[in-house]
Amino acid sequence: MAENPSPPFFVSTYSKLPESLFRVAEPKPVSAPKAVLLNDALAATIGISSAWLHSIEALHALAGQQSLPEIPRIAMAYAGHQFGNFVPSLGDGRAVLLGEVSGYDLHLKGSGRTAFSRGGDGRSTLSAMLREYIVSEAMAALGVPTTRSLAVIETGEEIPREKLERGAVLTRVAKSHVRVGTFQYLAARGEEAAMQALVDYESARNFPGAPQGPERFIWFLRQVISRQATLIAKWMCLGFIHGVMNTDNMQVAGETIDYGPCAFMDAFDPQKTFSSIDHTGRYAWDKQPVIALWNLTRLAEALLPLFASETDSAIILAEAELKNFMPQFESAFEKGMAAKLGLAEVKEGDADFIALTLQNMANAKADFTVFFSTLTEAVELESETKILQFFNNPNNAKQWIESWRNRLDNSSLNLMKNANPSFIPRNHRVEEALAAANIDNPKPLHRLLKVLSKPFEKHEGDEELALPPRPDEEVFQTFCGT
């Protein structure tokens, strides 16, 4: 361990915004901090030295023990529609923004109570924070825009959930933590000047090229819509279900945020949900684009007064942008699915072929990931026999393979290798790793993280981590797991 490695340079630009947007909040000290996971690769990309990350100073800073340089630490204010119901004041109830390093927010999650904690204890379980680390890092390696995880520090304290659980603090790294709900918070309070300041702040950080003048507000909405359209398409092409797409969990810069009950599907079922509280299937796999549009409509509503002084004109402007979401999503989804099938471009008839493929997969309950990795292998080995297992009916299989083969060319294999991972964070493997970590066996966790860091490669000796669950291993439900 280096003696005195230089700490990262923290700044706090968010605390210079209008003060209703945050409350000063110090992370609360914990009894016995212990580093469980430290992400050297991520540290390097944001200019934090490995030596500092492994230092005693970092351990204390990232557990919330020790104050870093003299910048305000804050809990961010936001509102949100939770399962469709508007809550005007939510905010960081168990998280503190430590500051920004190299333009990224460093956020401690599970660091104690804040002004927004309401009845909660402000803490997080080791299991939930390890789960967020595993899944967010897997998403990054899969090429999906996402918040990342720099560290998981155990607190040494037990926290009461259904049973007593080990507590931990996660250091989340994000391009920003501004959410749809942040704008809703200001709109509900009628704070137009603050809303303008927030649009300008977020544009400066994450949306280069903003025009000058009042048209920058509608331009901002357009950018957010585009980023969400491509983000949701990427989720869907991997069988990812976010699980709790409340407006407070939609970050406007377009990174996947808030890893609670999210999960990757095994057997394909378009209506699949995992979350224990999603009784109506609101956030099912195939609902995600519609919900994203619903959330973006809430964003547009919040921003309306900035678009034009007359509400009617503002609505016309907003609607003209919102109507572009679905076509953009569909085009990104089709392009993504086409790549998975090895089709270099989307031609006429391909949208129908993609729909037919998904229909066949659903009928046969094909494993979403294995289906596509088997197609890649079929092209690589020039053998189609293994594909037959994914069809209920051999005639359908023959016809499908015939149409598919006709669309392949010499770019197909490369496209498919980059679009079809072998490894995803399968629920049963994640659960297995968490259970072991909770009895101080970190081996399954490290093994899983290793394959997930290179999900498109082959990992000799770890092939079983690519397999779907056996019936007795299947995980049916996930929890918001605080």
Q: Is 132 in the site for Mg ion (CB under 5 A)?
A: no
89 contact partners, CB below 8 Å, separation of at least 6: 77, 79, 116, 185
Handedness of CA 379, 382, 384, 385 (dihedral sign): negative
Judged by CB under 6 A, the residue of 73, 81, 94, 242 near ligand AMP is 94
Per rule CB under 5 A, is residue 182 in the interface with Mg ion?
no
Write the CA distances from 409 to 132, 274, 341, 350, integer angstroms. 39, 38, 11, 15
Please name the residues in contact with 341: beta carbons below 8 A apart, sequence gap of 6 or more.
353, 354, 357, 372, 375, 404, 407, 416
Query: What string marks each residue from 350 to 389 as x (binds ligand AMP by CB under 6 A) or -?
Result: ----------------------------------------
Q: Does residue number 117 form part of the binding site for ligand AMP (CB under 6 A)?
A: yes
Query: Using CA atoms, how far apart are residues 373 and 371, in angstroms rounded to an integer?
Result: 6
* Cβ nearer to ligand AMP, comparing 113 with 407: 113
* Contact (Cβ atoms closer than 8 angstroms) between residue 305 and residue 314: yes
> Could you say whether residue 50 binds ligand AMP (CB under 6 A)?
no
Count of residues making up the chain: 482
Q: What are the backbone angles phi and psi of residue 420, rounded to the nearest 5°? A: -115, 100
Q: Which is nearer to ligand AMP, 244 or 354 (CB)?
A: 244
Closer to ligand AMP by CB, 123 or 447: give it.
123
* CB neighbour list of residue 313: distance below 8 Å, 6 or more residues apart: 307
Among 42, 64, 92, 171, binds ligand AMP (CB under 6 A): 92
R_g over Cα of the chain: 23
Extended strands (E) in 259-395: 263-264
Which amino acid is it at 403? Answer: S
Site string for Mg ion, 215-254 (x = CB under 5 A): ----------------------------------x-----
Instruction: Pick one of 8, 33, 260, 421: the residue that binds ligand AMP (CB under 6 A).
Output: 260
Choose the binding region for ligand AMP from 26-34, 86-94, 219-227, 469-477 (rule: CB under 6 A). Answer: 86-94
Per rule CB under 5 A, is residue 258 in the interface with Mg ion? yes
Interaction of residue 276 with ligand AMP, rule CB under 6 A: no
217 to 246, contacts with ligand AMP by CB under 6 A?
Answer: 244
Residue nearer to Mg ion on the CB measure, 202 or 258: 258
Place of tokens 């990812």: 240
248 part of the active site: yes
Residue whose C-alpha is closest to residue 306's, from 179, 187, 185? 187
Measured distance CA(95)–CA(93) in Å, rounded = 6
Cα distances from 134 to residues 59, 98, 139, 371, in angstroms, run 20, 22, 9, 23
Single out the residue of 27, 91, 99, 243 in contact with ligand AMP (rule: CB under 6 A).
91
Residue 176 within binding range of Mg ion, rule CB under 5 A: no
Measured from each CB, the residue nearest to ligand AMP is 120
Interaction between residue 123 and ligand AMP (CB under 6 A) = yes
Question: Least CB distance from residue 117 to ligand AMP, whole Å?
Answer: 4
The closest alpha carbon to 136, from 107, 176, 172, belongs to 172
Q: What is the distance between the alpha carbons of residues 411 and 344, in angstroms, rounded to a whole number? A: 7
**Residue 241 binds what, of ligand AMP, Mg ion, none (CB under 5 to 8 Å, by partner type)?**
none
Minimum distance between the CB of residue 275 and ligand AMP, rounded to whole angstroms? 10
Q: Using the rule CB under 5 A, is 92 a contact of Mg ion?
A: no
Binding residues (CB under 6 A) for ligand AMP: these are 90-94, 116-117, 120-123, 244, 248-249, 258, 260, 480, 482
Residues that bind Mg ion (CB under 5 A): 249, 258
- The catalytic residues are 248
